[in-house]
Amino acid sequence: MSFLNATFRCLGTVSAVFVIGAPVWAQGAGQPAPVTVIEAKASDVVMTARLPGRIKASTVAEVRPQVSGILRERLFEEGSMVEAGAPLYKIEDDSYRAAVAAAKAAVAQAQANYDLAVTQEKRAVELFRQNASSAQARDTAVSSREAADAALQAAQAQLMSAEIDLDRTTVRAPISGAIGLSQTTTGALVAAQQATPLATIRTLDPVNVDVTQSATDILRLTSTPEGRQMRELGEAALILPDNSTYGAKGRLEAAEPQVEPTTGMVTLRMSYPNPDHILLPGMYVEVDLPQSVAHDAITLPQNTVMRDRSGAAFVWVVADGKVAQRPVHIAKASGNDWVLTDGVQPGDQVITSGFQKTAVGAPVQIVPDTPAPTAQAGSN
């Protein structure tokens, strides 16, 4: 009896070892594990590079006075839109009006001297023709007329300069755009060409975004006809700080014709329409710049792709009712999906859930992908 009991105990231990060492799918009494799948579909996917950048106004002008004086009045509302040529500030102009009046008087005097010189010249020429005067008298009269003409032109130039200074007592907007806060107040003394601007005007429609990309990527992009075509098209989406996508696409306007030696990067300038002034200078954004097109690529949810210990990516597919492992090549991320260019064929059934209950080579049963039940309001 003791021998038989020992034998049975030994067999029970062996049976227990066999069950523990069995595959996961074998512990369910031979029943295939339920899994959900997604059918792989091929499509052409535009490959983009996400590049960081900041919004810049397309044009910036600092408003500075061109004449000196006491600031008498501010003629604009801070933060408003102004048109080119609109009056912004008024500088006291009494002394400039007096300068214009003095210049006008000098012109009138020079004009009278010129008229007299012209009359004397005509008289001297006529007398010389009648042999009633010498050639020297004629030449002196001609020279006096020319000197009077030069004096008149100088007086007219002085008048023009005085009128320009008088007009500059009204400080006008050099460009159209949004004007910022005033950096001075009424009653302040301003000087011509001073270092501190009175205000700054920025053109906000369109705006620019300067991004940098490695020279290697640009060379790779322009080395193929398709890449050159996409570079010429240059349309790019704009990602805002809240991760939303801006409503309008921008265009690649220019590229800095040099590579930064220390970083190996090239600066690219994108231009975006901004009619509602949503994009403000200094705002951090990201640009999705098209690089190439992946033909017949497969897009799958990121949770379907796994990695082994070496970091290589793979997916599980259902082939002939069993789990098969396929190594894949990830080209890029697209939102919550991976774009795959190798390893999965159109029509493959890629497993999306049920990984824990099965293994490679195990039979599985495809079940519908049903959402998890939610708790009903008022339930106990």
Q: Where are the domains of the chain?
A: 27-44+296-366, 48-58+204-293, 65-92+169-196, 93-167
In this structure, which long-range contacts are made by residues 323-330, counting pairs with CB atoms below 8 Å and at least 24 apart in sequence?
A: 323/35, 323/351, 323/358, 323/359, 323/360, 323/361, 323/362, 323/364, 324/360, 324/361, 325/360, 330/305
Per-residue pLDDT of 280-326, as tens digits, reads: 999 999 998 887 777 888 888 888 899 988 889 999 998 888 889 98
Q: What tokens were used for 211?
A: 């991004």
Half-sphere exposure of 43 (CA within 13 A, CB side): 9
If one looks up domain 93-167 in CATH, what number appears?
1.10.287
CB 342 within 8 A of CB 348: no
Nearest partner of 283 among 238, 331, 247, judged by Cα: 238
Q: What tokens were used for 235?
A: 């349309």
- Topology of the domain comprising 48-58+204-293: Elongation Factor Tu (Ef-tu); domain 3 (2.40.30)
The pLDDT of residue 57: 93
Q: What's the CATH number of domain 27-44+296-366, 2.40.420.20, 3.40.50.1820, 3.90.1150.10, 1.10.760.10?
A: 2.40.420.20
The pLDDT of residue 20: 37
Please give the model's pTM, rounded to 2 decimal places: 0.67
The pLDDT of residue 234: 64
The pLDDT of residue 320: 87
Segments in the chain below pLDDT 50? 1-29, 375, 377-380
At how many degrees (to 10) do helices 94-129 and 135-167 cross? 160
The pLDDT of residue 99: 94
Q: What tokens were used for 316?
A: 């599980």
The pLDDT of residue 218: 77
Report the C-alpha gap between 68 and 63 in whole angstroms: 14
Look over the chain and give the mean of its residue pLDDT values, rounded to a whole number: 83
* Distances from the Cα of 253 to the Cα of 17, 36, 172, 272, angstroms: 71, 47, 30, 10
- Topology of the domain comprising 65-92+169-196: OB fold (Dihydrolipoamide Acetyltransferase, E2P) (2.40.50)
